[in-house]
Amino acid sequence: MQNWIDAYSWINIRFLLQGLGITILISVISVVLSFIFGSILGIIRYAKIPYFSKIIGFIIDVIRNLPLLLIIFFTYFGLPAFGFKPDTIPAAILAMTVFESMMIAEIIRSGILAVDVGQMEASRAMGMKMGQAMWHVVLPQAYKKMIPALVSQFISLIKDTSLATIIVVPELMQHGQVVYGQNPNYIIPVFVAMAIMYFVVCYALSLLSKVIDRRMA
């Protein structure tokens, strides 16, 4: 019992919460960037531009099918060979953005495919250009359908930031390791605390997604 009380001293808890803050910061920045790049890539793949869309599609498939951990290693240890040496937090954000953009690109593409073709055809028949029809008619409907998939991707992203501990990004998992590193008796209490913190954030998001989904339907 004393171990739990000691492990949960305010200093330790505050340190874990700071880690959680960094976790959320990295996740939010990465998800915003990935949403932008993912949308662009997804539309390019959907648009079937000769050769270009095929090449982009292949790159998306390759990166999507690699472990994120490998991309993190490559960003932090491989990129310096090309003369670019990012700091730990930017490296984590870069790696997450590259990986998540590809995941989101696929979600966007299948979301657009799920919108009835008639919508695009009708807009074109009204005299809209392809880009206008996409922006004003197809995308708003596609995004609505994609909300559950996008939120669950965001939840994965939050969980995946824990992998960045390997390049010593000061996020929740890394701060947890620092705390239980002081005393082996802290291992279980710290893991319970970390699990609760991740769970609260991720579960709250999944509930939110259910609420949005129900309201839209």
Partner 1 sequence: MIKLLVDNWSAFISGFGWTVLSSLLALFFSLIIGSLFAILEVMPSKVARVIGNVYVEVFRNIPLLVITMFFYLVIPLYVVKINGFTAGTIGLTIYTSAFIAETVRSGINSVDDGQMEAARAQGMTFWQAMKNVVLPQAFKLVIPPLGNQFINLVKNSSVLAFVAGFDLMYQGNAIASTTFETVNTYVVVGLFYLVITLPISYYMQHLERKLA
Among candidate residues 171, 150, 43, the one with its CA nearest the CA of residue 95? 171
The residue behind tokens 């984590």 is 92
**How far is 38 from 15, CA to CA, in rounded Å?**
34
By C-beta, is 131 or 184 nearer to partner 1? 184
| Minimal distance, residue 129 CB to partner 1, in Å | 30
Rule CB under 8 A: is residue 49 a binding residue for partner 1? Answer: no
Q: Which stretch binds partner 1 (CB under 8 A): 28-36, 78-86, 118-126, 129-137?
A: 78-86
Residue 92: strand, helix, or coil: helix
Nearest to 92 by CA among 38, 7, 25: 25
* Residue keyed to tokens 């913190």: 197
Near partner 1 in 3-32, by CB under 8 A: none
d(CA 31, CA 27): 6
Among 77, 116, 122, 183, binds partner 1 (CB under 8 A): 77
Residue nearer to partner 1 on the CB measure, 72 or 133? 72
Under the binding rule (CB under 8 A), the answer on residue 66 touching partner 1 is: yes
Residues in the chain: 217
Closest approach, Cβ 146 to partner 1, in A, equals 17
Residues contacting residue 106 through CB under 8 Å, at least 6 positions apart:
42, 60, 64
Q: Which two tokens stand for residue 89?
A: 């937090």
Spell out where 14-110 has E strands: none
Mark residues 177-206: x for contact with partner 1 by CB under 8 A, - for none.
---x---x--xx--x--xx--xx--xx--x
Cα four-point dihedral sign 65, 68, 73, 79: positive
- By CB under 8 A, the count of residues binding partner 1 is 36
Q: Does 52 contact partner 1 by CB under 8 A?
A: no
Q: What track of x and - describes contact with partner 1 for positions 143 through 162 (by CB under 8 A)?
A: ------------x---xx-x
User: Does residue number 61 form part of the binding site for partner 1 (CB under 8 A)?
Assistant: yes
65 part of the interface to partner 1, by CB under 8 A: yes
Distance CA 131, CA 93 (A): 30
**Closer CB to partner 1, residue 16 or residue 137?**
16
Chain positions contacting partner 1, by CB under 8 A? 61-62, 64-70, 73-74, 77-78, 80-82, 155, 159-160, 162-163, 165-166, 173, 180, 184, 187-188, 191, 194-195, 198-199, 202-203, 206
